[in-house]
Amino acid sequence: MLRQLTRLGRAVPAISPRAVAIAVYADENGKAIAAAQSGVEGVACVDDAARALELYGDLWRATKLQWLHDWCEGLLDFVLAMQDDEGRWINFILDWDATKNLEGKTSLPGGEFWQARAMLAVSRTAEIIDDDRIGVAIKKGLPLLLEHPAAPDVRSLHILTALALSRTVHEPALRKKLPEWCEELLECRDDVIFKNWDMEVGTPHLWGHAQEGAMASASTYMDRPDLLESARLSAEMLYPDIIRGGFNEASTLPYDVWTTVDAMQRLYVATGQSLYDERASMARAWFYGRNAANRPVYDRRKGRVHDGIDGEQLNENSGAESNIVGAQALLSHVVDTIDHYVLEEVAKPTA
């Protein structure tokens, strides 16, 4: 996981001497592939860099290893450079000269997911890096969270951002919005199950589905047992069969499994019930072979996570998202084995 992220890492000197981004995709041979699933996208994106910034921040908190802090600083430089003067984040760079993709639909300034993920990442990074630019970026980006509507899956990230900022800064506007955002999630349910958007029908997709975890964490901060009960009821209807079945769906991505693990972990913290810790462990087993392919998705020998399972077929590619969320899901394993990793020099941009 970390070894694959190091292979995908690229210096971006056009931004700063220490700036680092992560190539979006890589094939089975490790060759980087530019994203082009929705037209021209680019070689690296804020979506991945922000999530990697959270990952390396968590690893630094656990280990205090300097090279992890260096990664945080490099990723932070990249993420901050992708915010425009109006506080909006652009998602993709088209090349390793840091040319911003201002027109692609998966990169437009202020897009919901990358705006939310960037805000969450920089808000959490404020706890470990003293950098005046972070406060400036948050202040510029907050109006887009406070004033604009958002789908429930995105709003969940806003809730987590508010909780992160509560630990470092006093933001009355966020404290006021937090109950409103939780009510938005409560209003978008199919019976008791949280939906990702109003028109979603059937079982909610798990990619980016963070509502149960966000509500569980918010309930603790706000002392709102009703929010915890809503999270618990939704989780009981949504997750147990999926986890027991080894995520035996037509297609399963590592990110689907990570959101499940995260929800179980947050419910465990909020309730203290060992059942949720046990379910988190069972969900993690998907990475080790408890899945439809009956093969490990996490290849320990090569130090990488595959890009998911289609039917019973393991996807041989291994891109940024899969390795970031895989490491987040298996964080304790990464922390326990991190002394065995050899930090390679971050690769230079290709011509």
Cα–Cα distances (Å) from 229 to 190, 192, 198, 217, 338, in that order, read 16, 10, 21, 12, 37
Cα–Cα distances (Å) from 250 to 241, 264, 294, 322, 350, in that order, read 15, 23, 15, 18, 36
The DSSP secondary structure of 23-37, one letter per residue, reads BSEE-TT--EE-B-B
CA distance 83 to 19: 14
Q: Look-up: residue for tokens 């309930």? A: 219
Q: What is the pTM of this model?
A: 0.94
Would you place residue 91 in the very low, low, confident or very high pLDDT band (cuts 50, 70, 90)?
very high
Query: Which residues on adjacent β-strands are paired with residue 44?
Result: 23, 93
Query: Which residues on adjacent β-strands are paired with residue 10?
Result: 21, 347
Would 345 be classed as within a structural domain?
no
pLDDT for the residue 338: 85
CA torsion sign, 119 to 120 to 122 to 127? positive
Would 169 be classed as within a structural domain?
yes
Would 263 be classed as within a structural domain?
yes
Give the orientation angle of helix 112-125 with respect to helix 152-165, to 10 degrees: 20
pLDDT for the residue 348: 36
How many domains does the chain divide into? 1
Residues 6+ positions from 265 with CB-CB distance below 8 Å: 213, 276, 277, 280
Would 330 be classed as within a structural domain?
yes
Q: Of 235, 269, 251, 259, whose CA–CA distance to 310 is shortest?
A: 251
Contacts by 291-294, CB closer than 8 A, 24 or more apart: 291/246, 291/247, 291/248, 291/252, 292/246, 292/247, 292/248, 292/249, 292/252
Is the predicted pLDDT of residue 351 greater than 90, yes or no?
Answer: no
Would 175 be classed as within a structural domain?
yes
Would you place residue 35 in the very low, low, confident or very high pLDDT band (cuts 50, 70, 90)?
low
CA distance 116 to 267: 22
Cα–Cα distances (Å) from 249 to 235, 291, 293, 318, in that order, read 18, 9, 11, 20
The DSSP secondary structure of 251-278, one letter per residue, reads EE-HHHHHHHHHHHHHHHHHH--HHHHH
10-24, 50-64, 160-174, 326-340: least confident range: 160-174
Would 292 be classed as within a structural domain?
yes
Would 22 be classed as within a structural domain?
yes
Would 351 be classed as within a structural domain?
no
Q: pLDDT exceeding 70 applies to what percent of the chain?
A: 92
Locate 350 and state its tokens.
Answer: 């290709």
Locate 19 and state its tokens.
Answer: 């700036």
CATH of the domain at 212: 1.50.10.10
pLDDT per residue over 212-226, tens digit each?
999 999 999 999 999
pLDDT for the residue 29: 64
Q: What domain range is 308 assigned to? A: 2-340
Is the predicted pLDDT of residue 186 greater than 90, yes or no?
Answer: yes
